[in-house]
Chains A and B, each alone.
Chain A
Amino acid sequence: MTSAARRRPYGVKGAPYGFLIPATILFALFFALPIGYAVYLSFRKVHVSGLGLGSGARKEVWAGVENYTDALTDSELTHGALRVLGYGCIVVPVMLGLALLFALMLDSERVRLAPFTRLAIFLPYAVPGVVAALMWGFLYLPDVSPFYYVLEKLHLPQPDLLDGGPLYLAMSNIAVWGGTGFNMIVIYTSLRSIPAEVYEAARLDGATPLQTALRIKIPMVAPSLVLTFFFSIIATLQVFNEPTTLKPLTNSLPLTWSPLMTVYQDAFRKGDIYQAAAEAVIIAVVTLVMSFGFLRAANRRQKQEATR
């Protein structure tokens, strides 16, 4: 804003638009345009005429909803979705349960080592998912893992952690390890903002610490629980780094374990960007529908509680 803007009143009016120019340009180039392009591609396909030889033989044509019907009947994508559903059913409750538990423990009176343990539990947030999967991946390998060493010494059965059912637990563990600390901090920060008078009243009524936690603390941090739940679900749907990193360590992990991996395979290994675009659009729509549905339900609940 130059000196001209300083004197004229419309400088104030124009200023916010000026401030928002960088964000708008970046949004147009790296969000709106790619999304639009993906939607466009998802309705296209390559038509091969004859033997597919020569430059004019391969042509891009409209495909209608063909890519979508293919994607929805494609067992890879739907199986991936089911796998991620199972994985999410383990990750989200365990992770948020632990986060809430640790937050409540940090918030309790006369607890020792709180600063150290808080930092330790939060630490995995700073560790990239790839590195986390890599560290745990080695801990799952019988040859180098301390778990197998202990099991062997105790003559206990040694399950293959990178196959079948245990694979879900192994994969979930990585996500729980990585995500608990961050969610704990969110819940803990909102616990600390509960006014002291509330506890005072509870104490005068003779409430035990457990009662205080169940009847006062948990209901009062409900909004932050809702938020962490929401973000955990979105993150779970989009799991990609951990299974991709574990892949080199085991043969029983398909290349299409999660929906995002299927999109990657279709786009860059099979080279069918049209099919991949349709799958990406489906994943985006499912995420959006779930997000809005969930936020709506949460809002409605809050309104009901408020009117009660």
Chain B
Amino acid sequence: MSSLAVREAPPAAGTTGAIRNRPPLRRRIALVPTLTLVLGAVYTLLPVAWVVVASTKSGSELFSTFTFLPGTGFADNIRQLDAYRDGVYWTWMGNSALYAGLGALLSTCVSALSGYALAIYRFRGREALFNILLAGVLMPPIILAVPQYLLLAKADLTDSYLSVLLPQILSPYGVYLARIYASAAVPTDVVEAGRMDGAGEWRIFTRVALPMMVPGLVTVFLFQFVAVWNNFLLPYIMLSDDEKFPITLGLYTLLEQGSNQPALYTLVITGAFLAVLPLIALFLVIQRFWSLDLLSGAVKS
């Protein structure tokens, strides 16, 4: 199991012998790979660093001082953001947490059920069903979102929390991952043994299979959480009441208004900075559970 967390393979036997004759510098550190990676990290961290610095600047400092010079307005920016339309920013953050958290949870449940069924049972129409579900991955979001909007409008459900939540519960990719993981992690003997003991199918699933599938389901949850948190198109189409906006849509509308009043730019920047914090924190905390083996396993099969 290799995850994002460090778990380097032990050096193969013979490594030390092979490099013993090389100059000492090369034994200690491989310069080219290290430098390449550091450059890559500088590139990815650059805009984040800029946002961190820029969020400390007051409106006038933003356009006048050197960009990487910290400003004096951080507390003030937070206060302004907090005051903006009675703290609607925090509502956006809460909405995003709700859409992503609840959406990913429901999505994981549906994926677990479907993935388990598709992996363990042999039944008529299994492959057909799986392929139809998978074809959903290839569907451009726009061909779904526009008619979804029109249909939900007929049910009077647009501009509601449900209109953003419901269409994102079924994730074809989640079902796919759950199936791959279930077939690798849940041995059929165990299921058979459960049946011998007289346990029902539902009981076998919840008591025996589900615990075995947990590491894979954590991955499904995280994928879906990030997907929903980052989604913009669906809420952009569905919602018009900004009290229901997720953070992506909220920041976008703030930026759009900022093109007429540049004073809002500091709010956008501070808002962007605060918006990336939760996901980065989430990543740092749970990266050890985030098994990407699943992905490469999926690649190999």
Which residues does A use to contact B, with CB under 8 Å? 1-3, 5-6, 11-13, 15-20, 22-24, 26-27, 29-31, 33-35, 37-38, 41, 98, 101-102, 104-106, 108-132, 134-139, 143-146, 149, 177, 180-181, 185-186, 189-190, 192-193, 196, 199-200, 203, 223-224, 227, 234, 237-238, 240-241, 244-245, 248-249, 260, 263-264, 267-268, 273, 276-277, 280-281, 283-284, 287-288, 291
Contact = CB atoms under 8 A, between A and B. Distances in A.
B36 A105 contact: yes
Contacts of A29: 166
Contact of B295 (A16, A35, A131, A189): A189
Q: Which of A29, A110, A281 has the most CB of B within 10 A?
A: A110
A120 B300 contact: no
A181 B44 contact: yes
B300 A109 contact: no
B29 interface: yes
B144 A30 contact: yes
Interface of B: 2, 4-6, 8-9, 11-15, 18-19, 26-30, 32-34, 36-38, 40-41, 43-48, 50-51, 54, 62-63, 66-68, 109-110, 113-114, 116-118, 120-121, 123, 126, 129, 132-133, 135-136, 138-144, 146-148, 150-151, 166-167, 169-170, 175, 195, 198-203, 205, 226, 229-230, 232-233, 236-237, 247-249, 251-252, 255-256, 258-259, 265, 268-269, 272, 275-276, 279-280, 282-284, 287, 292-293, 295-296, 298-300
Contacts of A19: 113-114, 116-117, 205
Q: Which of A27, A37, A109, A134 has the most CB of B within 10 A?
A: A134
Nearest to A23: B114
Contact of A128 (B148, B203, B230): B230
A-B complex: 10 closest residue pairs judged by Cβ atoms: A19-B117, A120-B41, A34-B147, A15-B201, A16-B121, A26-B170, A105-B33, A117-B37, A189-B296, A1-B202
24 contacts: A11-B201, A15-B201, A19-B116, A23-B133, A26-B169, A30-B169, A34-B148, A35-B144, A106-B37, A110-B27, A113-B37, A123-B44, A123-B283, A124-B44, A126-B226, A126-B283, A130-B230, A144-B265, A146-B68, A177-B47, A189-B293, A196-B9, A200-B12, A238-B142
A102 B39 CA distance: 10
A118 B140 contact: no
Nearest to B276: A127
B292 A30 contact: no
A13 B121 CA distance: 8
Nearest to A120: B41
Contact of B117 (A16, A102, A268): A16
A240 B233 contact: yes
A138 B299 contact: no
B2 A115 contact: no
A302 to B, nearest CB: 12
Contacts, number: 315
A199 B143 contact: no
Contact of B14 (A131, A180, A203): A203
Nearest to B112: A19
Contact of A3 (B117, B200, B299): B200
A248 to B, nearest CB: 4
A263 B258 contact: no
Contact of B132 (A27, A104, A186, A284): A27
A284 B145 CA distance: 12
Given A1-B203, A186-B299, A128 B229 contact: yes
B282 A126 contact: yes
B110 A26 contact: yes
Given A105-B36, A119-B4, A131-B276, A20 B114 contact: yes
A260 B144 CA distance: 12
B30 A280 contact: no
B41 A116 contact: yes
Given A30-B170, A102-B37, A224-B296, A287 B140 contact: yes
A230 B29 CA distance: 35
A190 B47 contact: no
A38 B44 contact: no
B198 to A, nearest CB: 6
Given A24-B129, A138-B265, A146-B68, 17 more contacts: A5-B201, A16-B121, A26-B169, A27-B133, A31-B139, A33-B147, A35-B139, A109-B30, A113-B34, A117-B38, A124-B44, A131-B276, A135-B50, A145-B67, A189-B295, A238-B141, A280-B142
A269 to B, nearest CB: 12
A263 B123 contact: no
